[in-house]
A and B are shown apart, each in its own frame.
Chain A
Amino acid sequence: MGKLEGKVAFITGAARGQGRSHAVRLAQEGADIVAVDICKQIDSVAYPMSTPEDLAETVREVEALDRRIVAAEADVRDRDGLQAAFDAGVAELGGVDIVLANAGIAPMGVTVLPNEWDDVVAVNLTGVYNTVEVAKQALIERGGGAIVLTSSTAGINGIGGSQPGGLGYTASKHGVVGLMRSYANVLAEHSIRVNTVHPTGVNTPMVVNDVMQEFLAQDPSLSNAMANALPVPMLEAVDISNAILWLVSDDARYVTGVTLPVDAGFTNKK
């Protein structure tokens, strides 16, 4: 019997990368999934973003596990669109227990593009706020639940460089911690737990792409600052999924308000 049998999880940014890994890992443990992703490009992001085909692949992988999934294209910046996608998914799957605010962008590159700061803050911070807001009432009515916000080592450390996208990335990921702490306190009386995970570099299309690799290569201090303590250059998405699985399961039924680095000792090394 899976650890999440009978539960429903709402996951943003679920088309690929960490989001898809979370959908599959939670489905392996018995959860049904409400998956959303923008499946579109944002102009200030130079690496290719997700596509409708990516989201369809997530659907296929979850269904291959004999779990149900309701997927929709939705932008976390658009509260109404996100609410509609959430409501439709939850209506079909019969409630929600778990919320993973995973969607994020990293508009960092050698060339600074217009609106980097505004876009990264809108997606990575306001998008997380929107995600919790659209789901909050349903969790309260359910009588409890678990929310995990995906922050970053850049949510605890001043890394990311000096350009607008990197500064915005670090600022937004720090902001997520503030959201988490406030929501943990506000929602505790409803037995809703709220925590953050803080990954170091993960082997996903957001990091493993020409734009990011060129960006890291041009400034050795940046790539040196990305070195982990454990002898592993980069984590796999499933490592973040396993931490999230633990946080949302009953094994962590009294864990709330916690910033959990999954960072190969990166933060402690600084």
Chain B
Amino acid sequence: MAGRVEGKVAFITGAARGQGRSHAVRLAQEGADIIAVDICDEVPGLPYPAATEEDLAETVKEVEALDRRIVASKTDVRDLAALQAAVDDGVAQLGRLDIVSANAGIGTQPHPTHELTEELWRDMIDINLTGVWHTTKVAIPRLVEQGDGGSIVLTSSAAGLQAYQNIAHYVSAKHGVVGLMRTLALELAPHSIRVNSIHPTQVDTMMIQNEGTYRLFRPDLENPTRDDFVPASQAMNALPIPWVEPVDISNALLFLASDEARYITGVALPVDAGAVVK
């Protein structure tokens, strides 16, 4: 049986681990080849370990184990020229481009808004908003030139639709992604290129499973643990679960990227266990 994205090529940022790796594997399972990029390097002030080149190599291994092709590179979404080179190289090797997943993003230590440093604010906007714009900017000319449509999916957050205290830079960047999605959806509709955003609640990856998030959610505890985080995280959601798995976001991406959603564009799709409706 043909896969749901058979013969397509997907460009995925932040693909070394977490949601990005899951996206690469899930799309590959359904027949796509992958262009994968990740910074594989430290960003100052992150409360969790950075992705590594070994992580990206593991993504390559998992995609190749599915008999799909993958072109991977250590690339920072803030570096427009490098990102353009990465996508161009991927398209040269894989022959086309159909799907764009702007997934790369960082979390951060919580601070009241007026106590955020300039560096924390700037890094967040540079990666989680400008990096997403870069990702679309380097991919769109190829999609338009190909002339047979495409699907761009921007990873926002429940924090792209509503406020959370003490992470104003994250909330602002993720709201900005929605504005970018809506504008691109209008601009690209005449080319049958669809643009949508996904809004996850907490996803069980290193970006939330770290001391910074634990402290954000349990300011009442001196040294909160993953177990302490469970009830606080679950309180965010309407469904009785503390968080979703990366594959749940991948399944939404797959739907939006596939022909099953051929007329869905301009949509902000929460995959959030009811966090927004609650």
A residues neighboring B (CB under 8 Å): 181, 184-185, 188-189, 191, 193, 200, 228-232, 235, 239, 242-243, 245-246, 251-258, 260-265, 267-269
- Decide yes or no whether B240 CB sits under 8 A from chain A: yes
Question: Binding site of A, secondary structure by majority: helix, strand, loop or mixed?
Answer: mixed
Mask, B235-263, CB within 8 Å of A = 1, is 00111110010001001101100001111
For the complex, give the distance between the alpha carbons of A231 and B190 in Å: 6
User: For residue B237, which residues in chain A have a CB less than 8 angstroms away from its CB?
Assistant: 188
- Is the pair B270, A269 in contact by a Cβ cutoff of 8 Å? no
Of B190, B239, B254, B267, the contact of A254 (CB 8 Å cutoff)? B239
Residues of B within 8 A of A235 (CB): 263
Is B224 engaged at the interface, CB distance under 8 Å to the other chain? no
Given contacts A239-B262, A255-B252, A267-B266, 4 further A-B contacts (CB under 8 A): A189-B240, A262-B263, A265-B194, A269-B186
Please, how many angstroms separate the alpha-carbon atoms of A265 and B192 in the complex?
Answer: 10
- Contacts across chains A and B counted by CB atoms under 8 Å: 117
Shortest C-beta distance, B84 to chain A (Å), equals: 27
- A228: chain B residues at CB < 8 Å are 189, 263
Of A257, A264, A265, A269, the contact of B274 (CB 8 Å cutoff) = A257
Give Cα A251–Cα B257 distance, bound, in whole angstroms.
Answer: 14
Residues of the B chain whose Cβ atoms lie less than 8 Å from the Cβ of A230: 189, 192, 194, 263, 265
Given known A-B contacts A188-B238, A254-B248, A254-B273, A260 and B267 have beta carbons under 8 A apart: yes
Instruction: Tell whether, in the assembled complex, residue A254 and residue B272 are in contact, meaning their CB atoms are under 8 Å apart.
Output: yes
**Residue B218 is within 8 A (CB to CB) of chain A in the complex:** no
A178, chain B: closest CB distance, angstroms:
11
Contact B189 A231 (CB under 8 A): yes
Nearest chain-B residue to A267 (Cβ)? B266
Instruction: Quote the shortest CB–CB distance from A59 to chain B (angstroms).
Output: 26
Given A185-B277, A229-B189 in contact, is the A253-B248 Cβ separation under 8 Å?
yes
- Whether A252 and B261, one on each chain, are in contact in the complex, defined by CB atoms closer than 8 angstroms, is no
Contact B269 A260 (CB under 8 A): yes
Contact A184 B277 (CB under 8 A): yes
Q: Which residues of A have CB within 8 Å of B185?
A: 229, 265, 268
Question: A239–B239 contact, CB under 8 A?
Answer: no
Q: How far is the CA of A245 from the CA of B255 in the complex (A)?
A: 10
- In the complex, are the beta carbons of B266 and A191 less than 8 A apart? no
Q: Once the chains bind, are B260 and A246 in contact (CB under 8 Å)?
A: yes
B277 touches A229 (CB 8 A): no
Q: Which of A251, A255, A263 contacts B270 (CB 8 A)?
A: A255
Residues of B within 8 A of A257 (CB): 238, 270, 272, 274, 276-278
B250 to chain A, nearest CB (A): 9
Are A185 and B186 neighbours in the complex by a CB distance under 8 Å? no
Interchain nearest-CB distance for B234 vs A (Å): 11
Report 19 cross-chain contacts, Cβ distance below 8 Å, ordered by A residue. A184-B277, A188-B274, A193-B239, A228-B263, A230-B189, A230-B192, A231-B192, A235-B263, A246-B261, A251-B251, A251-B252, A251-B254, A254-B271, A255-B270, A256-B273, A262-B264, A264-B265, A265-B265, A268-B185
